[in-house]
Amino acid sequence: MTERLTMAGAINAGLRAAMERDDKVLLMGEDIGALGGVFRVTDGLHKDFGEHRVRDTPLAESGIVGTAIGMAMRGYRSVIEIQFDGFIFPAYNQITTQLAKMHYRSRGDITLPIVIRVPFAGGIGAVEHHSESVEALFAHTAGLRIVSPATPQDAFDLIQQSIACPDPVLFLEPKARYWDKGDVDTQRVAAQLDAPDGEAAATAEMASARIAREGAHVTLVAYGPTVRVALQAAEVAAADGTDVEVIDLRSISPLDSDAVVRSAKRTGRVVVVHEAPTAFGAGAELSARVTEQAFFHLHAPVLRVGGFHTPYPGNTFEHHYLPDIDRVLDAVDRVMRH
């Protein structure tokens, strides 16, 4: 069955499906109850599942994550909403020193199947601390998985797969894409999860990249909010005769670099585009891996397009801070000149 949904609507539908599938799934966060969250992603769930399962928490992010850890030790699967990317930092200690390491330090005795949903990245004209790209800060920590959907379909699938996954997952929702619409198959993931070893299949699938557009000349790698930018840039490049392949990573940890390396071996040119600052970012990691694994196939250095090493600027600057079609095309032109 296919439904036409926004990304926000797809996440909402995915949460609903997960809560119907497993009554140990709880939602926790600030203003997610009667209000439905500041982006209304949990709209209607409080009414339908009650305040026991859709829990408005005190305004204390460390507390949300920390109490979810204790609840997970009694079998509850919490899906946490951190209201905005910039407000995840009060919980940074709980996420990195506790949540990420508990399975390891308990030698597998304790699993913490907790999902932390974060409306992330910029482009909506917000005030400071509301447009941050936090993925690299967490990708450096072993024990966490990090995914980011770029389409309503992936949002619907990935949220359910993340909830089914026994490891903690940081689920980064590109807030500027909340209102993008797309056709969503609402049956496929349910069948995957209901099958034997559904959790493992779901976890493996959510760690895999997707080829969003096939091409022969340049591999353009993106995830979350920049996939749309990459696809638009590819269309423009095509008009100039450059055939761009777009890879939507979907997962930052683990990073499906194999998919990128395979593509790089065909195209010989790679450009990575993300909103996060390029310095020490996911693009740097990917660039290193491509260089290590496909060096003799490359015709040009791997280039990165992303935010600058400045605080996220006031929103009158943001469309110059964020990678746009022109900056992506500039990088495509530069790798093509080699």
Partner 1 sequence: MDATGPLSSDGLVQLLTPEGDAVEDSTYSPYAAHLTPDDLRAFWRDMTVVRAFDKEATSLQRQGELGLWVQSWGQEAAQIGSGHALRGPDFVFPSYREHGVALTRDVDLVEVLRIFRGLQHGAWTPQDHGFHLYTLVIGAHALHATGYAMAMDFDGLVASGNPERDGAVVCYFGDGATAQGDVAEAMTYASVHNAPVVFFVQNNQFAISEPTSRQSRVPIADRGLGYGIPSVRVDGNDVIASHAVTRWALEHARSGAGPVLVEALTYRMGAHTTSDDPTRYRSKAQEAYWAERDPIARLEAHLIARGELSQEFRDQVTAEADALCERTRTTVRSWERPALATMFDDVYALPHATVDAERAWFERYEASFADATGGATVDAGAAR
Q: Using an 8 Å Cβ cutoff, are 110 and 102 in contact? A: yes
Identity of the residue, 68 or 336, whose beta carbon is nearer to partner 1 in the bound complex = 68
CB of 334 to partner 1, least distance (A): 29
Please state, as a whole number, how many other Cβ atoms lie within 10 Å of the Cβ of residue 20: 12
Identity of the residue, 86 or 215, whose beta carbon is nearer to partner 1 in the bound complex = 86
Identity of the residue, 285 or 324, whose beta carbon is nearer to partner 1 in the bound complex = 285
Q: Give me 222's structure tokens.
A: 């993106």
Q: Which of 46, 130, 217, 274 is catalytic?
A: 130
Q: Give strand pairing partners of 221.
A: 247, 272
Amino acid sitting at position 42: T
**Whole-angstrom distance, CA of residue 225 vs CA of residue 110:** 34
Identity of the residue, 35 or 59, whose beta carbon is nearer to partner 1 in the bound complex = 59
- The residue ranges that bind partner 1 (CB under 8 A) are 52, 57-58, 60, 62-63, 65-76, 90, 93-94, 97-98, 101, 103-111, 142-143, 145, 165-167, 199-200, 203-204, 207, 253-258
Any alpha helices (H) in the chain, and if so which ranges?
7-21, 45-49, 61-72, 92-93, 102-105, 135-139, 152-164, 188-194, 198-206, 226-239, 257-267, 282-294, 318-321, 325-337
CB of 164 to partner 1, least distance (A): 10
CB of 296 to partner 1, least distance (A): 20
Identity of the residue, 252 or 305, whose beta carbon is nearer to partner 1 in the bound complex = 252
CB of 253 to partner 1, least distance (A): 7
Identity of the residue, 203 or 219, whose beta carbon is nearer to partner 1 in the bound complex = 203
Q: Which of 116, 179, 189, 109 is nearest to 151 (CA)?
A: 179
Residue found under tokens 């591999």: 219
Residue 130 a catalytic site member:
yes
Please list, residue by residue across 278-314, b when 16 or more beta carbons sit within 10 angstroms of its beta carbon and e when fewer do: beebbbbbbbebbeeebeeebebebbbbbbeeeebbe
**Whole-angstrom distance, CA of residue 261 vs CA of residue 270:** 9
Q: Using an 8 Å Cβ cutoff, are 333 and 215 in contact? A: no
The DSSP code sequence of 105-123 is HTTTS-----EEEEEE---
- Residues involved in catalysis: 130
